[in-house]
Structure 1
Amino acid sequence: MNVLFICSRNQWRSPTAEQLFRRYSSLAVRSAGTSRNAKKKVTPDLLHWADVICVMEQKHKDRLMAGYRRIIENKPLHVLHISDNYRYGDPALIALLEELVPSALGIG
């Protein structure tokens, strides 16, 4: 399963999720950001690659729907409701991701 994690700047939340879920052999994971100054920006190619998309906040889903509706309208898209209060690798962020993502993806 190809999973794309998305936040705003691809700086803390989505890269933490990408790193964390790389350990699952059944998953291929990548991350990107919706902001124009993201480290790695969301692209049509990344969205086509993804089987499932996990966004950190509703605003990320809204941005994707506004710009890429035709690509993502038939893909599972999960809003994790994780606000921008964490740094990369923050133990509290990791705990939230471990709680929310496996059930969203139907794994573990």
Structure 2
Amino acid sequence: MSVLLVAIGAAVGAPLRYLADRAFGARFPFGTLLVNVVGSLVLGYLTTLPGGALTTGLGAGFCGALTTYSSFGYQTLWLVERRAIGLAAVNLAANLGLGFGAAYLGMSL
């Protein structure tokens, strides 16, 4: 049952990540930042709940498919390649700082 819930969660999270990425302009990866922060908040909260199939489905499935380290890494390097070093630094700091802060907030709820 857990595998099915993970698959369902991923089927919801992945399209949301895609849509968030497409909803914002190409100059700065706001979509990736948004999904990483939201996913960190949700996963932080889920870690405070008793384990089970539903939390596994939401954590590994939904949050795993919603958030994206690979896109964050690629987009940061893309900014560096375009000599937008300041924006790359902001992207790095925002993803890490807001991600950790959102996870902490989620755990505190």
TM-score range, shorter chain: under 0.3
Point out the structure with the larger strand share: 1
Q: Higher relative CO (CA 8 A, sep ≥ 6), structure 1 or 2? A: 2
Kindly name which structure, 1 or 2, has the bigger radius of gyration based on alpha carbons: 2
Structure 1-normalised TM-score? 0.25
Point out the structure with the larger helix share: 2
